[in-house]
Amino acid sequence: MLYQNRYDNSELTYNDMHFIGITGGVGAGKTAILSYLESNYPCRVMLADEIAHDVMEPGRDCYRKLQELFAKDQVFEADGQIDRKRMAQVLFSDEEKRLALNNIVHPAVKQYVIDEMNRERAEQKNKVLILEAALLIEEHYDEICDELWYIYTSEKIDNIFASQLSESTYREVCREEIDNNHLPEDAFSQIDALMKARQVEKVQKRQTTEE
């Protein structure tokens, strides 16, 4: 499948809430960067993995579909919770079920993200909304995000469930690249420059003084 860069060379405008999708390989250091963004800027961070976990909880539409899909695989605990370890074992050995699960969960995650994006735009409480997702490009989040950022490092960790895209695809599709090969402060400086270019100022932290 071909993934196209939908961005041109025109300047972005930042009068409204800005929606940024962030991706990168396993071990790229995304967690530290996301934490820095959330701690220092007026933004909200959403994690696709956490959303996927939530939409699979008992009582959700996805859960009922998963009950049908895994009816014979003994992946449900006595209390109805999903045995994630057992489910991973089933998915590892059954490609058809892995694809079926993705077809159930991924659309639900995307709908949640769209709903939250619309809510955030309406409320205007945060200057920036951020979504971190391993499959950001494959799931076509460029269609709803204002732009995509790619965090990269030379460290490579194999992960069968992670994105299988090439380095060149990440660089072609994402508007910005963050080099996380050095000290955390180096990556944070890159973040500061990107946010400054987007007219997003750091949050002023309260100073405590002794009287």
Half-sphere exposure of 154 (CA within 13 A, CB side): 2
Which segments of 135-184 are extended strands (E)? Answer: 147-152, 176-179
pTM of the model: 0.85
pLDDT in tens, 5-53: 544 444 455 557 999 999 988 888 899 999 999 999 999 999 999 999 9
Joined together, the tokens standing for residue 162 give: 């992670």
- What would the pLDDT profile of 160-183 be if each residue is shown by its tens digit? 445 568 888 999 999 999 999 999
Q: Which helix (H) or strand (E) holds 43?
A: strand 43-47
